[in-house]
Structure 1
Amino acid sequence: MRFGLFCTFDNPHDDFARAFAEQTSLVRLAEDLGFEEAWAVEHHFNAESPVPSCLMTLAYLAARTSRIRLGSAAVLLPFHNPMLIAEEAATLDILSDGRFDFGVAKGGPFPMQNKHFCVDVAGSREKTFEALALIQRLLAEDEVSFEGAHFRADRVRLAPKPLQRPIPTYIATSTPGITQRAATLGYGFMSGPPFPLKIVARNVAAYRDAAPEADPKLVLMRFFHLAPTRAQAREEAATFLAPFIARMRETTARMQPEWTEWFDVERVMDDSLIGAAEEISDRLREIETEIGPRSVVLKPLSPLLSKRSADLAVFSEAIRPMAAQAAAS
């Protein structure tokens, strides 16, 4: 498995500049520690995670790093002009020297986004796939004409063109239907930190049913918190997670009520990487055996940069080697 860092640019101190500086330092540390990937979110109207443009943010991170791959998790395509996203994706791929992974999504259960961008929730799925189809053609072909329900292009010649042909593409989803479409189109898929592992396993099975010979290339994001004992780690993590879980329960009750039962603090911790080092190593082995992700991407929970940095160091220097040794034995 590969390992990465999930970048939400947390803002617990109500200081936007500090939030960006601290997240940047974590990405640079992750690269130094041997992590292979860093994925940045796109969030709108969210002071606690202020990342309205993950592509702009990744372009900055590309200039501050040299080896780590940089991914969007994810560009919310219904809110953007796909021709502009194609231009920005190609530019980012060049600026990162071909280190860009292109993750997309239709947008989560956050009604203010759809309201302010004037996007109908009911049509966002098909708008996402139509936008992605146009983007992929623009990135690959010399000249593109396109006529869809939402977007059109008339002999468009994209400039610049990306270094990677194609740019690795992933769809963020929690549903088997979208997962199966990702499989038939040859894309990987991503699963966010709060979603149950049983749902992720179901979606991996759906992917393989749709494309038996294909690799799901699953990017699995998980909450991560380390302490000397399991009890201490869970007590601390519960405090950090409780406000997030409460917000998600309130939001999903209105827009995606079938998700509500998933947002329970104990359940989320059970499906996360929370505990002592040896316990987390064992959990990684279980995840690799049961689900087989290509990448496990960590979302440190502590609001303190010093604690997040220390936990990443322990993961790299102790937990990852333990998991690798267990796999080899």
Structure 2
Amino acid sequence: MKFHLAINLERMSPETDMREVRDHTLEMVKMADAAGFEIAWAAEHHALEMTIAPNPFQILTWWGEHAKNIRLGIGVVNAAYWHPINLAGEAAMLDLLSDGRLEFGIGSGAYQREFDRMKPGLDQRDSWRYMQEMLPVVLKLWEGDYAHDGEFWQFPTATSCPKPVQQKVPVWVAARAPITFDYAVEHDCDILSWPLTMPLSEVQTYRRRLDEAVDKAGKPYKGTWAVMRHSAVYETEDDRKAAMGSIRHVLGQFGNLMMKKGEVINGFPEQVPLEELDGNARVDPEMLEENLMFGTPDQVVEKLKAHEAVGADAFVYYASMGMDMAQQKRSLQLFIDKVMPEFAEKEMAHAG
């Protein structure tokens, strides 16, 4: 199993120094790079302090200058917010500046609140149509001159400047729905799945959808399937309680954005009162600890092996969940020191 890191520039209150957030994020990426993580992922979001990522290409170019081996993943760009020529050029520039480390992820977005500001009039549930038109256009622009007359974009002959350094850029699609698995398999894309706070059975459902998509396509699937989880590794009761408090706070904000139940004030989402979410699978503490990649090193190893048994090729350690920065580093270091070696030995045994 390969390991990836997803981390946001994340500010939970106005009192937090933005420069401290900046420096912390880079330190985490450098830790992952030194430990042999395969990919570092940066998201795209707008006008939200909990995910400060107006341009993931800018973030990844910066990371790539300081972390020299880890690959640089867009996780993911929202197709509806971009013009194809602009997107193709930005992505190719990152590939050029990083000597061919771009992992190009594209998706359909998450929050209707964000669409209301970035693409007024577009229902988030319809945004997959933009993604499915965008991706082939970007690939054509990377090849050379191309003119496009589509539903959402039209332009005369143009090309991407620069072109990617890689002969074939890995392309990732964020997938949960069957239609997106079908699209990813049909177009030979890698797949990034995030089961949110749902149990392992949700991951098993995704695996069935992937297998059904492969059967429908009638051809072998050679791509990578990566599963992302909020992650916290701890050895003390204090860290355990702090991790649980942090994730519940973040999920209250997430509930605000997904259900549009609260305000966002100067970039900070109000937390939906937990009493409104109690009983909901998103915030029940016992369920969260069981479903997320939370636990002692031994417990996390066991959970990872269960994900591996379902068929996940890679695990994305999602570090951003409101924990204080020192605890984030402790958690990642425990993962590096006490979890990853269990899988490195297995990889070596297979190689032998």
Q: What TM-score comes out, normalization by structure 2 length?
A: 0.84
1:154-233 alignment, distance < 5 Å:
154-192=156-194, 194-196=196-198, 197-212=200-215, 213-228=220-235
Deviations 1:124-179 (A, max 9, x none): 1111211112111111x221111100012321122211011221111113212212
CA–CA separation in structure 2 for the residues paired with 1:58 and 1:97: 13
Who is 1:21 aligned against? 23
| Contact in 1 for aligned 2:11/2:49 (Cα 8 Å) | yes
Deviates more, 1:6-15 or 1:38-47: 6-15
For the structure 1 residues 311 and 250, does the alpha-carbon distance in structure 2 shift closer, same or farther, using more than 3 Å as the test?
closer
| Contact in 1 for aligned 2:174/2:193 (Cα 8 Å) | yes
CA–CA separation in structure 2 for the residues paired with 1:295 and 1:232: 30
CA–CA separation in structure 2 for the residues paired with 1:298 and 1:241: 14
| Contact in 2 for aligned 1:234/1:269 (Cα 8 Å) | no
Deviations 1:198-247 (A, max 9, x none): 33322222222222410351122111112226x66653322011122223
Who is 1:294 aligned against? 313
Q: What code does the residue aligned with 1:309 have?
A: K
1:20-99 alignment, distance < 5 Å:
20-99=22-101
| Contact in 2 for aligned 1:40/1:74 (Cα 8 Å) | yes
CA–CA separation in structure 1 for the residues paired with 2:163 and 2:54: 24
Who is 1:309 aligned against? 329
Q: What code does the residue aligned with 1:224 have?
A: S
Who is 2:282 aligned against? 263
Deviates more, 1:86-95 or 1:102-111: 102-111
Asked if 1:126 is matched to 2:129, the reply is yes
Who is 1:280 aligned against? 300
Who is 1:248 aligned against? 254
SS in 2 for 1:311: helix
| Contact in 1 for aligned 2:105/2:171 (Cα 8 Å) | yes
Who is 1:10 aligned against? 10
Could you say what the CA RMSD is over the residues aligned between the two structures, in angstroms? 2.4
Which ranges in structure 1 are unaligned for 5 or more consecutive residues?
none
CA–CA separation in structure 1 for the residues paired with 2:309 and 2:189: 22
SS in 1 for 2:127: helix
CA–CA separation in structure 1 for the residues paired with 2:235 and 2:27: 25
| Contact in 2 for aligned 1:42/1:73 (Cα 8 Å) | yes
Residue 325 of structure 1 and its aligned partner are, at CA, apart by 4.5
Residue 69 of structure 1 and its aligned partner are, at CA, apart by 0.7
| Contact in 1 for aligned 2:7/2:25 (Cα 8 Å) | yes
Q: What code does the residue aligned with 2:252 have?
A: A
CA–CA separation in structure 1 for the residues paired with 2:222 and 2:282: 29
Asked if 1:320 is matched to 2:340, the reply is yes
Who is 1:147 aligned against? 149
Deviates more, 1:242-251 or 1:70-79: 242-251
CA–CA separation in structure 2 for the residues paired with 1:193 and 1:60: 29
Residue 195 of structure 1 and its aligned partner are, at CA, apart by 4.7
Identity of aligned residues (%): 22
Q: What code does the residue aligned with 2:316 have?
A: V
1:137 to 132, 135, 140: 140
| Contact in 1 for aligned 2:73/2:103 (Cα 8 Å) | yes
Asked if 1:238 is matched to 2:241, the reply is no
For the structure 1 residues 180 and 269, does the alpha-carbon distance in structure 2 shift closer, same or farther, using more than 3 Å as the test?
farther
SS in 1 for 2:141: helix
Residue 273 of structure 1 and its aligned partner are, at CA, apart by 1.4
Q: What code does the residue aligned with 1:242 have?
A: R
Deviations 1:68-114 (A, max 9, x none): 01101110110111110100111101111111101111110332333
Q: What code does the residue aligned with 1:205 have?
A: R
Q: What code does the residue aligned with 2:170 have?
A: P
CA–CA separation in structure 2 for the residues paired with 1:314 and 1:69: 22
Q: What code does the residue aligned with 1:21 have?
A: D
| Contact in 2 for aligned 1:282/1:323 (Cα 8 Å) | no
